[in-house]
Structure 1
Amino acid sequence: MSNTLINSIVKNGTNLKDRTVFLIVFCISLFIRLPFFFRDYIDRDESTFILMGQSWVEGHLPYTELWDLKPPITFLVFAAVIYVFGKSFIAIRLLGVLLVTSAAFFTYKIGQEAHSKKIGLWAAIATVALLSMFGSLQGVMSEHICMAFFMPGLYLLIKYKKWGTTFLSGLLMGIAVMSKMNIAYAILFLGIFVFYYHYRNRNWVKGIGHSSLYYMGILLIIALTLLPYYLQGIKDLWVSSVFKAPMAYIDARRYSVLKLAPTFVILAGFFFYTWKKKLLNFKLAPIQFLLVAILGVLFAFYKGGRINGHYLIQLHPMLLLLVIIALSNLQYFKKFKWKPYFLFILLLIPMETYLEYFNIAQNKYERDTFYNGEGFSVPKYIQENHLDTKNILFLGYHIGYWVLDAKPPTKAATHPSNICRDELFAFHDNPRALSMDELRYIMETLQPKTIVTRKNRRVFDKKEEAENSYIDAYLVKHYKVVATVEKAEILQRLER
């Protein structure tokens, strides 16, 4: 980024063009995420989405052959990439770059409406960073897909007040909610605010009309995801998987209120401070739309009873805008002057990315391939040593199913941890009601010839004591470790 461009942005950013901003956020996103293109898996959920997408490409609707707890558009996005590009990790990770770029670009556009181009750009860059770094965010998560559609939908509501754009916003919001269900409260709250926005201007007819069009767009997308199930006479499976199962999951796996409290207290403090010091103008419509969206996301966290790290992807773009606007109104930042060495400091932030660049370079030198991780090395060992892949169970690194053209042994085993989520079994017509029954069926009836586990790690979460005790004892009695590949153990069933 040239010094002239940096100075232009810092001063006012008025000369910025949309295509320039899009290119900036795309390049930053690509740079941060590129070294992770070659990793086998970054988050186990991403591996599951890939398996679900592959199953759809092969002609099986989600929830029919394999099963996972996400709405169908998440799987559709993966299926589309696999259908066009085949089994390409690079294509899937490039999809992640585009999704993050979409969310960040429309963060910029909203920032332009709420304050200025300069603020919008800084918020967009910060969005790329917080949607791409730390933990599992370098993978393609359902939240990335969700926000890639939610942010343009929100922008249309803020920028335009036309019938057509309101309906288009509803379509985008429908795609968002059919990618990640817990964004539903933010979408619902925004629809109510659309009505209120027009009603307070004494135009209740427009209020009803716009909010109705908005919800019609959402319902149309939901109906389109139902349609293939309805045509095949399995609409109950869609209803159970998309709506009933998430509610059962939430009820079974809530955090303590004390774990949620810090996030809510910090945000309440931020909003009170910005209101008290007049750092945010809450009378401006764009600020109000952002605030409503944030409250919707926070309400979803409260109702869901938990805040996982990747859930915050749904909060970051809107919150970053308000934080950066507030900071820009502080006296210290009003007097802020750009210094060339600040660029060096900014370049230090993506340290995780630099380490991964080093990792892939080292992997290329040592193994003559950029691709790294047990998801590649374990299938390679299995193929080279002609181990059984028809009756195989991955209790770790389950992206290996995709690499080996294999399938999980049961629906519940699509994601290894789903084996222990027996509260969900009824919603995908699992023949067994309890997790221990499912585990015994897999181990004692199907009797996988090959099993892959994580070395020196519990097979299931530590709270699943009964399942861990059973699987540990069963593996010791009926299997032997034939190889340790990186951090994975490959086991073969003993002949009796």
Structure 2
Amino acid sequence: MQLKSRTVFLFLFLLAFVIRGPFFFRDYIDRDESTFILMGQSWVEGHLPYTELWDLKPPITFLFFAGIIYAFGKSFIAIRVFGTLVVAITSFFTFKIGKEIGGPKLGLWTAIACTALQSLFGSLQGVMSEHLSVAFLMPAIFIILKYHKYYWYGLAGILLGLTVMTKLNLAYAVLILGLFLLYRSYAEKQLKQGFQNSIFLGLGAILVILFTILPYYQNGITALWWQSVILAPLEYAAANRGSLLDVAPTCLIIIGFFLWAWKKKYLDLKNRHVQVLFVTVIGILFSFVRGGKINGHYLIQVYPALLLLVGMVLVTIPLLKQFNWKPYYFLILLLVPMESYLEYYAILKNKVEKGTFFNGEGIEVPRYIQDHDLDSSNILFLEYHIGYWLLDKKPLTKISTHPSNICKVEMFPYSGTTRKTAMEEIIYLLEDIQPPLIITRDKENIFAKENTTENAFTRNYLNQHYRIIQLIDHAEIWQRLE
């Protein structure tokens, strides 16, 4: 089977485009994406991340969104198309690695599976920091597996630095991978070359980190970078660490699969390629354990390397090797994107009923406010906060950039807010600023359900001082009483 790289990349991009295309018109798929857009817009307007608005992701995530907004303006489609390109890049390098390990057939099918798992099942159709991080991680792994010269390792280090500065938890995986490569060179009695390669790998990563610090250093606010990029995520992980039982099932299933495959001799753990992928998966799982929880979109980080190892096992099992899969290929490819088919129907229905493909409360609420000439100065979005972007407004405080952060008091010391508690922040927003409009979702809890005091106070305050002037699907538009 001869497959040209250019043809494969084009195929994977088109596959990702078809799967993800109908979601280009959504207001948002995950709230984090809306936050990244706001942070990117602020950067385009001349404000470094964490200075005007605030979130705890590393700056390369925001740079991605800022670059697209700078080039194409406020365009959901541009952001989602580049997100599709990112997915295609990850899948392409999954193909390249699979081709190196087991041939083009293994590479192609793992790449197709990678495209699907990055784009379906949950909130994966948006552009998440996990998508960006693995688009840097997989090329780095390919370089490490394919090349052995120090300058290639320097390039891999730059990619790993970008990985970490996109998704900080992957620092664990990168560190573990780096230590393994050094150990491997020692075991193979190539310590000099291994040490040299490790130095350039580390220098490449450090170079990226220093690059992200530089603009803060030039402005005399290096401490802000340190607090926001390093300290805040560590504190957040410590404060929000779930039970080990939340993480254990996924980790045990994956590790159990590896042990079974190794015992059955379906997986050769002495093979360098297998070892690098295995160590990468273990490093990512370790980061999940350290964080104490696994959300659906977290798994984007582990899919590419894991799929390659699973694919290697599946093509080795005698029963599966003998089975004739060809009649089922088309059926599998047809049925998997069921979410996409439903979304295609939804956007066509929205076009017929409302005259536009763009849909969602985050789009319709700003449109209603503009059409009815409502006072949107100091508007407060406690939900659907992509509305700030569409109304050319800003969140009222740094910590409220992402509405859920309002009750994450462990991050207050690093965000620059002078309030000490969630209640102080809420009272400041509601009583001191007194927004003329507040947007919420029609559910009992405005914040996370464990924030009972904050939820009760906010609901009572809204009922006393505001009235709902419009319900748009699940969005409540509250107007302050005179």
TM-score range, shorter chain: over 0.9
Rounded to whole Å, the distance in 2 between the matches of 1:25 and 1:159 is 22
Rounded to whole Å, the distance in 1 between the matches of 2:221 and 2:455 is 35
1:279 aligns with 2:227: no
Partner of 1:118: 105
Q: 1:246 aligns with which of 233, 240, 243?
A: 233
Secondary structure of the corresponding residue to residue 483 of structure 1 = strand
Q: CA deviation at 1:325?
A: 0.9
Rounded to whole Å, the distance in 2 between the matches of 1:388 and 1:173 is 46
Q: CA deviation at 1:327?
A: 0.7
Q: CA deviation at 1:414?
A: 0.3
In the TM superposition, 1:223-372 aligns within 5 A as 223-372=210-359
Partner of 1:26: 13
Q: 1:189, 1:292 within 8 Å by CA — same for their partners in 2?
A: yes
Partner of 1:441: 428
Q: CA deviation at 1:363?
A: 0.4
Q: 2:381, 2:440 within 8 Å by CA — same for their partners in 1?
A: yes
Deviations 1:275-304 (CA, angstroms, capped at 9, x unpaired): 111111111111010011011101111111
In the TM superposition, 1:20-99 aligns within 5 A as 20-99=7-86
Rounded to whole Å, the distance in 1 between the matches of 2:190 and 2:265 is 29
Deviations 1:71-130 (CA, angstroms, capped at 9, x unpaired): 000000000000000000000000110110011000111111221111011110000011
Rounded to whole Å, the distance in 1 between the matches of 2:332 and 2:413 is 53
Q: CA deviation at 1:51?
A: 0.2
Rounded to whole Å, the distance in 2 between the matches of 1:91 and 1:261 is 38
1:151 aligns with 2:138: yes
- Which letter does structure 2 place at the counterpart of 1:308? N
Q: 1:114, 1:284 within 8 Å by CA — same for their partners in 2?
A: no
Deviations 1:365-422 (CA, angstroms, capped at 9, x unpaired): 1111010011111001000111111110001100000000001100011000000011
Q: 2:393 aligns with which of 390, 399, 406?
A: 406
Q: 1:401, 1:408 within 8 Å by CA — same for their partners in 2?
A: yes
Residues 198-207 or 227-236, more deviating: 198-207
- Which letter does structure 1 place at the counterpart of 2:138? M
Partner of 1:213: 200
Q: CA deviation at 1:336?
A: 2.4
Rounded to whole Å, the distance in 1 between the matches of 2:421 and 2:328 is 60
Q: 1:143, 1:311 within 8 Å by CA — same for their partners in 2?
A: yes
- Which letter does structure 1 place at the counterpart of 2:202? Y
Partner of 1:467: 454
Rounded to whole Å, the distance in 2 between the matches of 1:124 and 1:386 is 49
Q: 1:397 aligns with which of 356, 362, 384?
A: 384
Secondary structure of the corresponding residue to residue 490 of structure 1 = strand
Partner of 2:175: 188
- Which letter does structure 1 place at the counterpart of 2:205? I
Partner of 2:116: 129
Deviations 1:433-457 (CA, angstroms, capped at 9, x unpaired): 1111011000010010111111134
Q: CA deviation at 1:341?
A: 4.7
Rounded to whole Å, the distance in 2 between the matches of 1:216 and 1:298 is 25
Deviations 1:168-210 (CA, angstroms, capped at 9, x unpaired): 0000010110000011111111111221222222121111111
1:376 aligns with 2:363: yes
Secondary structure of the corresponding residue to residue 479 of structure 2 = strand
Residues 35-44 or 201-210, more deviating: 201-210
Q: Which runs of 5+ in 2 are unaligned?
A: none
Rounded to whole Å, the distance in 1 between the matches of 2:104 and 2:331 is 23
Deviations 1:219-252 (CA, angstroms, capped at 9, x unpaired): 0000000000000000000000000001110111
1:453 aligns with 2:445: no
Q: CA deviation at 1:49?
A: 0.2
Secondary structure of the corresponding residue to residue 123 of structure 2 = coil
Rounded to whole Å, the distance in 2 between the matches of 1:280 and 1:21 is 26
- Which letter does structure 2 place at the counterpart of 1:125? I
Rounded to whole Å, the distance in 1 between the matches of 2:41 and 2:245 is 40
Rounded to whole Å, the distance in 1 between the matches of 2:400 and 2:277 is 40
C-alpha RMSD of the superposition: 0.9
Secondary structure of the corresponding residue to residue 212 of structure 1 = helix
Residues 196-205 or 316-325, more deviating: 196-205
Rounded to whole Å, the distance in 2 between the matches of 1:415 and 1:143 is 18
Q: CA deviation at 1:346?
A: 2.5
1:494 aligns with 2:481: yes
Secondary structure of the corresponding residue to residue 181 of structure 1 = coil
Rounded to whole Å, the distance in 2 between the matches of 1:245 and 1:112 is 40
- Which letter does structure 1 place at the counterpart of 2:113? A
Rounded to whole Å, the distance in 2 between the matches of 1:320 and 1:105 is 13
Secondary structure of the corresponding residue to residue 412 of structure 1 = coil
If the length of structure 2 is used for normalisation, what is the TM-score? 0.99
Q: CA deviation at 1:486?
A: 1.7
If the length of structure 1 is used for normalisation, what is the TM-score? 0.96
Residue identity (%): 55
Q: 1:394, 1:451 within 8 Å by CA — same for their partners in 2?
A: yes
- Which letter does structure 1 place at the counterpart of 2:454? E
Q: 2:133, 2:166 within 8 Å by CA — same for their partners in 1?
A: yes
Deviations 1:47-80 (CA, angstroms, capped at 9, x unpaired): 0000000000000000000000100000000000
Partner of 2:154: 167
Partner of 2:414: 427
Rounded to whole Å, the distance in 2 between the matches of 1:293 and 1:63 is 31
Q: 1:252, 1:423 within 8 Å by CA — same for their partners in 2?
A: yes
- Which letter does structure 2 place at the counterpart of 1:130? L
